[in-house]
Amino acid sequence: MLCKRLKGKSQFKYLFGNSQFKLTLLVLIVSFPLITETNAAGQYSWQFKQGNWTELKNSLQVNCFNSEAFCFYGNNQWQNYIIEVDATFLNVKNNSRWVSIIFRAGTDGNQAWSQCPLRFDGQLDNAAEFAVKKNDKWHVRKNASVTPNNQLNKAFHLKVIVNGPEVKFYHNGKLVINTFLCIDRNFGAVGLGASGCVARFENFKVTPLPNSTIVQHRYDQPACKIIAHRGFSYQAPENTIAAIKAAAKTKCFGTEFDIRQTKDGATVLMHDPTVNRTTNGKGKLSHFTLSQLGRLNTGTKTLERYQGEPIPTLNNAISTCKENTITPVVEIKEWATLQNSISVINQHQMNNPAYVISFDGDLIRECNKLAPNIATAWLCGKIPSTYETPHKQSAWILKQLKTYRTNTLNISYKLISPKMIEILHKKNIQVWLFVLNDPQIAQVMIQWGADAITTDRPDLLMKLDNTY
């Protein structure tokens, strides 16, 4: 195997067990792979765990046209690193097939591990992903499209930077994924993957980075509120009285539900603009009167015991929350329901404050103007891509919150980072997260300081430390 020493040396700290050693790193170029080695770690060999892999003179080729393929390299105690490779699709089964860089993996391939795959068709919403494989299932935590499209027999460059919980995924030098959800393993080897294709990998390189501190549980912060999403929608039909009562039985802090307006001006619980998905009817909700909605059944597509469960009015829902001592979190989908929502909430004089939330920041500002006694939160599902760092993202968020006159941010957990929470807390902003069902991720978010988490599984998240 041919190799030569590059000019210069770099020093990094690697963590083995409970001890730290400063190591001098010699970067070696080999016929395949190009890889960073350490004089303490020694030489490793590829572990081919699945698929048909062939080591050629200057490349590694895989044929997995009808399956997935994975191989692993390195040390299970590696923590942070930069991984780079040039990849080429030689043939694909269809446009959704992919190649990937694997990290934080066990070399046996049997433990949970993470990867960043890139699909052949860059225009797909999930062309680039950050995903975790555990218990033989894929868990996709972030995805994005890429440009330009990949082409057969044309190489492209992939790079992944793994540093603590943060992962940055680059395609031909452009950042396409940035996430802080690499939390399943703190250490692990690296590798390559592919699915439904014939592909070639060249110039594989791993550059170690300094170790990062593993975040420990903090007990100096308030408990995290758990809010049931559309009631306990995992157990009962969403946005129904049955779901609200089921949520209350878990003893969680609150229950979120969505509201829209009927043809005759009534305010009812419904997420979609149509009744198709959640009832036995068809058509736009706004085309039904309250009386006509009363003939629909929300239980037909769920368990037998919920047959006949009706679509409730907002008044029914708020009354049920008050009777069952659970805080209502009302997501307003339409401006037409704002005034009635304020009236119903004030009419019931809730012991616990009710919340109004919306993706429409102008609606939140108007609610604060009309009813300053009602707590509000702005829902945020996307941050402009021009804001790439936690500081810039936090500054943009703070500007929106000031405009909408609320001090509570309700943001997708896929967009958050520990630094963002820290910055926002220093500005006295409450940070709520949606919709998170994985207890392992939720516990990490609580450790980071999340003030509330909306979930389909309040039963699971209420078992975590520091929740109510």
Nearest of 282, 261, 269 to residue 237 by alpha carbon: 269
| For range 59-63, the mean pLDDT | 96
Greater model confidence, 134 or 429: 429
- The two most distant CA atoms of the chain are separated, in Å, by 80
Given a cut of 70, whether residue 31 has pLDDT beyond it is: no
What's residue 218's pLDDT?
56
Q: Name which of 244, 237, 154 is nearest 202 in CA terms.
A: 154
Q: 13: pLDDT confidence band, cut at 50, 70 and 90? A: very low
CATH 3.40.50.300 applies to domain 225-461: no
Residue 433 has pLDDT above 60, yes or no: yes
pLDDT tops 50 at residue 390: yes
At residue 396 the predicted structure's pLDDT band, cuts being 50, 70 and 90, is: very high
Is the pLDDT confidence value at 37 over 80? no
CA-based torsion, 114, 214, 434, 358: positive or negative? negative
Confidence check: pLDDT of 24 > 80: no
> Average pLDDT, whole number, for the chain?
89
Tally of CA atoms within 13 A in the half-sphere of 131 that contains its CB: 21
Q: Residue 2's pLDDT band (boundaries 50, 70, 90)? A: very low
Element containing residue 248 per DSSP (H, E): helix 241-249
Q: How confident is the model at residue 268 (pLDDT cuts 50, 70, 90)?
A: very high
Q: Name the segment(s) of the chain with CATH classification 3.20.20.190.
A: 225-461
Q: Give the chain's length.
A: 468
Angle at alpha carbon of residue 153, lines to 74 and 160, rounded to 5°: 35
In which residue ranges of the chain is CATH 2.60.120.560 found?
Answer: 3-208
Q: Of the given ranges (35-44, 252-261, 299-308, 330-339), which has the lowest mean pLDDT?
A: 35-44
Quick one: average pLDDT of 440-455?
96
Backbone φ, ψ for residue 206 (5° rounding): -125, 125
Look up the CATH superfamily of 3-208: Exo-inulinase; domain 1 (2.60.120.560)
For residue 36, pLDDT beyond 50: no
CA distances in angstroms from 229 to 274, 430, 444, 456, 464, listed in the order given: 19, 19, 20, 5, 17
Q: Does residue 393 register a pLDDT over 50?
A: yes
The per-residue pLDDT for range 139-189, each reduced to its tens digit, is 999 999 998 889 999 999 999 999 999 999 999 999 999 999 999 999 999
pLDDT at 136: 85
Please list, in sequence order, all residues whose beta carbon lies within 8 angstroms of the beta carbon of residue 304, skipping any fewer than 6 positions away.
none
- The predicted structure's pLDDT at residue 222: 84
Reported as a pLDDT band with limits 50, 70 and 90, residue 96 is very high
Report in angstroms the alpha-carbon separations of 37 from 60, 195, 290.
19, 28, 70
Give the model's pLDDT for residue 27: 40
The better pLDDT of the pair 311, 1 is held by 311
Pick from 293-307, 338-352, 397-411 the range whose average pLDDT is largest: 397-411
Angle at 150 between CA 145 and CA 154, to 5 degrees: 155
8-state DSSP, 309: P
**What pTM was computed for the model?**
0.86
Q: What is the mean pLDDT of residues 321-326?
A: 96
d(CA 164, CA 186): 7
